[in-house]
Amino acid sequence: MRALVVTPRQPRSARVTDVPDPRPSADEVLVRGVRIGLCGTDHEINEGLYGSAPEGSEVLVLGHESVGRVERGTADLPDGTYVVGIVRRPDGCPNCAAGEPDMCLWGRFTERGIGGLHGFGSEWWAERPEYVVAIPDALAGVGVLLEPLTVVEKVVRHAFLIQRRLRWEPKRALVAGAGPIGVLGAVLLRLRGIEVTVFERTEKAERRALLARIGAAYAATGATPLAEIVAGAGPIDLAVEATGSGAVGFALIEHLGTNGVLGLTSVSGGDATAEVPVARANRLLVLGNRAVFGSVNANRADFEQGVRDLGAAQGRWPGFLGALITSRVRLGNAAPAVTHDPRQIKVVVELGGP
Ligand code: BGC
């Protein structure tokens, strides 16, 4: 079968090639690949900065944002069901054993399409039922957005868990970054009735218009300083950083309201440094009970909540989720698509499955 692969650590090695068909074991379902979405992590893997192949393989099949269709299933996952694969596999540490591999302690987890396990970017794949999540047929077209959505599902779930330290009724949120994670974060927060302002550096008229459809405000720091944007929005109860830049995360501390919480999602590559006003930032954190946390990956609960929220978003803003998929390529033409293109929101690779 054909698959989209890279040679890990070799820059710009993405290519479509033949790989062996999956041979599902007795406890696995066989899935026909329908499509995958590409994200910044795939770009970094294709730049040679990140990622590792499974043991004994020279290549890594890409794809951790998936939709497939069960070809040979079980009583609970009948043939024909649309499914999305969960990314991370546990390593046996106490947190993994408790069903929270996203909070892994030992760091020996593997991730499909990222580290140590082949991804879902192939015509067929196999997986154990506990690592796939069924989605309704009506969500098959936008199901590739489920995995990126889970990244912010976890951030929002954890923000609410952290804020159980006080009486907290978040009214206003600030989202840094208008890429897929930022926009999906805005969707989640709007579904929860929170006012949202999304900002990025350079104004993109089409992002402003898109976000207006879900009642989220948009601003560009190229035109308006962040302090002014925040002053216009009002005190920020929850901030989510989704720009890819570590510097933005630290800068956001200054813009959090009293008792506010900031969740960081960027896996910022490289070794950039920046000057931080530590006395002021520390004072704000202490005197205003502000909290900052990092968040990676997501667990099954976030995928299940994500399915409900995708359905709610489809119902409330018909066509919105589909509009986030700005480019579709066939598997045979997928290799050049594994590079960052700022004009795109979500690039999707069609794997041939129905
Ligand atoms: C994926 C996560 C993964 C993280 C780090 C992200 O792109 O969505 O599932 O844990 O990269 O590898």
Q: DSSP letters along 190-257, please?
A: HHTT-EEEEEESS--HHHHHHHHHTT-EEEETTTS-HHHHHHHH---SEEEE-SS-HHHHHHHGGGPP
Q: Whose CA is nearest to atom 9 of ligand 1?
A: 297
Tell which one of 112, 184, 267 to mutate to probe ligand 1, the residue whose CB is within 8 A of the most ligand atoms.
Answer: 267
Q: Whose CA is nearest to atom 10 of ligand 1?
A: 297
Task: Examine the pLDDT at 272 and tell me if it is beyond 90.
Answer: no
The number of angstroms, rounded, from the C-alpha of 17 to the middle of its chain's C-alpha atoms is 26
As given in the structure block, the two tokens for residue 171 are 């009214």
The ligand 1 atom at the shortest distance from the C-alpha of residue 39 is 7
Residue 182 to residue 207: CA distance in whole angstroms: 11
Rounded distance from Cα 286 to ligand 1 centre (Å): 31
Q: For position 219, what pLDDT does the model report?
A: 98
Task: Examine the pLDDT at 4 and tell me if it is beyond 90.
Answer: yes
Tell which one of 38, 41, 60, 108 to mutate to probe ligand 1, the residue whose CB is within 8 A of the most ligand atoms.
Answer: 41
For range 13-24, the mean pLDDT: 97
For range 49-77, the mean pLDDT: 97
The ligand 1 atom at the shortest distance from the C-alpha of residue 296 is 10
Residue 82 to residue 139: CA distance in whole angstroms: 9
User: Where in the sequence of the chain do the CATH 3.40.50.720 domains occur?
Assistant: 150-294
User: Residue 327's pLDDT band (boundaries 50, 70, 90)?
Assistant: very high
Task: Examine the pLDDT at 196 and tell me if it is beyond 90.
Answer: yes
Rounded distance from Cα 163 to ligand 1 centre (Å): 24
User: Residue 268's pLDDT band (boundaries 50, 70, 90)?
Assistant: confident
Q: For position 220, what pLDDT does the model report?
A: 98
Q: For position 299, what pLDDT does the model report?
A: 95
| pTM reported for the whole predicted model | 0.97
Beta-strand pair 88-89/82-85: unpaired
Pocket lined around ligand 1, Cβ cut-off 6 Å:
39, 41, 64, 87-88, 111, 114, 147, 151, 267, 296-297
Rounded distance from Cα 234 to ligand 1 centre (Å): 32
- 310 phi, psi to nearest 5 deg: -60, -45
CATH topology of domain 150-294: Rossmann fold (3.40.50)
- Tell which residue, 266, 197, 187, 186, has the closest CA to residue 226: 197
Tell which one of 114, 146, 155 to mutate to probe ligand 1, the residue whose CB is within 8 A of the most ligand atoms.
Answer: 114
User: Where in the sequence of the chain do the CATH 3.90.180.10 domains occur?
Assistant: 2-142+324-350
User: Residue 304's pLDDT band (boundaries 50, 70, 90)?
Assistant: very high
| Average pLDDT of the residues of the chain | 97
**pLDDT over 90 for what percent of the chain?**
97
Please tell me the CATH code under which domain 2-142+324-350 is placed.
3.90.180.10
For range 25-41, the mean pLDDT: 97
Task: Examine the pLDDT at 79 and tell me if it is beyond 90.
Answer: yes
Rounded distance from Cα 111 to ligand 1 centre (Å): 8
